[in-house]
DNA sequence: ATGTCTTTGTGAACGCGTGCACAAAGATGA
DNA sequence: TCATCTTTGTGCACGCGTTCACAAAGACAT
């Protein structure tokens, strides 16, 4: 998960649990697919399968939105698409700025899935003067000096940070001061923001480390043989490139 | 959050809660920073602040790893770095392949933070014959036909998918069949994999939609004023910039 | 109309994660 | 050696999220 909001006393927003909110986009995507194939209705079972979740969970999630299903039939696809879109705030336009147009920033700018759901790239901002004016994904990059003006002029409330880690907090502060209240952070740093500002982070490195943990565990289990009492975790394959020297690389510094 | 493993009966891996595992990389990053500044020890309070979490939570997390602290003093930075690295499986080398070298794939390949923690880009794979041989981030892109051989030869167990959504499941199947047991998926699709294979997803679109939800809610609260009995669960309803045309864009199809 | 059959919506139980609060551990100084 | 002071490690309670299981709702056929 590259997710994680910063702070927030678990204030269940308007009665809709945070976990449910995080799944609504998933349902919406599955529903959009059905809609394109002109499927009129879906059962909770079918939709749940498409979204990769439990059907009971899906029904409970939808129950927070209201009673939009028909017993014995299922859910009307178009209607549900609309209801979820409205709930997520996608019936309006969200201008977004991307700050830090390097490798990642440029990829994000080129990302088509951006505009598809009400998100519009209002501006690309970079601190490098050499980049100012350069078109990326059809949009001319603007210099950081313009940041406040851009935010203000476009009524931007969502900012994406893809600068190096060292610049992230500073950029964040400027964004917030200029009026941005939601930030998607790709830089590997913990951002501190005032109350009322939401931060979500996407951290590739963390994701890989979590995978490595489970990978190691799988390999270890296999090595340990199946003397475990329960066959819950299957044997799986051989450890990857693991000639993990016999703990030979313990740092010299020991605790006490 | 762009996170979410697929399936898995909440099998608490080796006694370490999943939530804790997800935070270990965060602690590790904070500790690495301290280590570079040659700080010998940290208290749970200081480290927690650096990692952006609660100190009690941090102490509880560490308690799952063992008793590595010294009461009255704190934790030895170097020692803790080693212990967490070992726990996460970062003391060994993890060869990784990236499949789909487009905008995003190329950015990922160029990402420096990759190699820093034991992850090594073993190969870049793309289906486009025109890309074969082209160097990206100093590595020659290889054609999809070689996928199985590459996985096998390098003992790759972690794969990154950054192909278009339509190709993701197919690529996933091939990776898994070739021996990959952990996948980081950037394509906006639900991947289905056999038991024993971990999938984590990073989904920009979902992150933005979650931010939009809260953004809409904030706007609604502000618009509603403070006439509510408690500022916790506001009336809402008053959509923000919603000139929600007299429901003019409600789909024609209604439920019942 | 009435019965059957499908599927929703939800009450209830359970487990995980979080945070409080404090006893125990150990360092440090006299 | 003993007292004091800091900080860890954890028991405990609480709330959120998940899942089960089923009653109620409605479609559809007869
Ligand atoms: N590339 C990836 O796949 C990847 C993956 C995960 C995380 N990240 C993170 O995303 C960030 C960007 O990665 P990248 O590979 O694109 O780096 P990059 O060096 O290619 O791009 C960074 C860009 O930010 C600009 N910049 C620097 N300081 C700035 C400031 N104060 N204001 C505005 N712009 C500024 C630079 O001019 C540069 O164009 C890094 O923090 C990196 O750790 C990247
Ligand atoms: N660019 C972004 O910032 C971004 C953000 C979020 C998600 N994504 C997702 O990441 C994926 C890649 O995005 P992108 O912008 O890099 O797209 P892209 O079109 O630039 O790149 C896709 C690459 O995948 C290759 N490819 C296609 N089918 C393949 C196959 N079967 N096997 C191997 N390679 C194959 C193509 O040749 C191409 O080089 C998409 O699913 C996109 O939705 C991208």
pLDDT of residue A10 exceeding 50, the answer is: no
pLDDT digit string, tens, across residues A202-226: 999 999 999 999 999 998 876 665 4
Q: Which of A23-32, B52-61, B145-154, B233-242 has the lowest mean pLDDT?
A: B233-242
Nearest CA to ligand 2 atom 20: B102
- Model pTM score: 0.88
Half-sphere CA count of B235, side-chain side, radius 13 A: 12
Question: CATH assignment of B10-88?
Answer: 1.10.10.10
Q: Check if the beta carbon of residue B215 is closer than 8 Å to that of residue A157.
A: yes
What angle separates helix A204-223 from helix B77-88, to the nearest 10 degrees?
Answer: 70
More confident site: B209 or B12 = B209
pLDDT averaged over every residue in chain B:
85
Q: Is the pLDDT at A188 greater than 80, yes or no? A: yes
Pairwise CB contact (< 8 Å): A94 & B50: no
Angle at B38 between CA B36 and CA B42, to 5 degrees: 105
- Select the more confidently predicted residue: B127 or A243: B127
Protein CA at B68 to nucleotide C1' at D2, angstroms? 27
Give the rounded percent of residues in chain A with a pLDDT score beyond 70: 81
Nearest listed ligand to the Cα of residue A186: 1
Residue nearest to nucleotide C7 (CA to C1'): A72
Contact B208 A94 (CB under 8 A): yes
The answer on pLDDT for A122 being more than 60 is yes
Contact B52 A76 (CB under 8 A): no
What is the structure's pLDDT at B37? Answer: 96
Residue B135 has pLDDT above 80, yes or no: yes
* Section A47-71 average pLDDT: 97
Alpha-carbon separation of residue A122 from A14, A99, A207 (angstroms): 29, 11, 29
Whole-number Cα distances in Å, B245 to A211, B212, B226, B239: 46, 20, 26, 11
Q: A49-66 burial by CB neighbour count: b if 16+ within 10 A, else e? A: bbbbbeeeebbebbeebe
Q: How far apart are CA A87 and CA A69, in angstroms?
A: 16
pLDDT at A224: 64
**Average pLDDT of the residues in B168-196:** 97
- In Å, what is the separation between the CA of B39 and the C1' of C30? 29
- Under DSSP, the state recorded for A190 is -
How many angstroms does the Cα of residue A170 sit away from the middle of ligand 1?
13
Say yes or no to pLDDT of A179 above 80: yes
Would the Cβ of A68 be found within 7 angstroms of any atom in strand C? yes
- What percent of chain B has a predicted confidence (pLDDT) above 90? 77
Looking at residue B238, what is its pLDDT?
28
pLDDT in tens, A141-172: 999 999 999 999 999 999 999 999 999 999 99
pLDDT at B14: 59
Of all protein residues, whose CA lies closest to atom 21 belonging to ligand 2?
B102
How is domain A94-202 classified at the architecture level of CATH? 3-Layer(aba) Sandwich (3.40)
């Amino acid at each position: 998960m590259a997710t994680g909001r910063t702070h927030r006393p678990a204030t269940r927003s308007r009665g809709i649990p945070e976990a449910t909110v995080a799944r609504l986009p998933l349902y919406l995507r599955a529903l959009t697919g059905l809609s394109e194939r002109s499927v009129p209705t879906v059962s909770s079972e079918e939709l749940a399968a498409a979204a990769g979740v439990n059907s009971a969970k899906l029904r409970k999630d939808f129950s927070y939105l209201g009673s939009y299903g028909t017993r014995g039939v299922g859910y009307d696809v178009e209607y549900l698409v609309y209801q979820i879109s409205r709930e997520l705030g996608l019936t309006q336009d969200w201008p977004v700025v991307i700050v830090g147009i390097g490798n990642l920033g440029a990829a994000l700018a080129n990302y088509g899935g951006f505009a598809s759901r009400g998100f519009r790239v209002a501006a690309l901002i970079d601190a490098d003067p050499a980049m100012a004016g350069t078109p990326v994904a059809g949009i001319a990059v603007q210099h950081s000096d313009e940041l406040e003006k851009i935010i203000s002029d476009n009524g931007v409330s969502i900012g994406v940070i893809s600068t190096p880690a060292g610049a992230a907090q500073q950029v964040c502060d400027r964004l917030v001061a200029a009026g941005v209240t939601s930030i998607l952070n790709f830089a590997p740093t913990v951002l501190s923001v005032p109350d009322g500002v939401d931060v979500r982070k996407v951290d590739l490195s963390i994701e890989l480390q979590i995978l490595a943990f489970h990978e190691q565990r799988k390999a270890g289990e296999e090595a340990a043989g199946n003397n475990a009492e329960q066959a819950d975790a299957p044997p799986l394959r051989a450890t990857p490139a693991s000639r993990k020297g016999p703990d030979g690389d313990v740092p010299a510094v020991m605790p006490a």
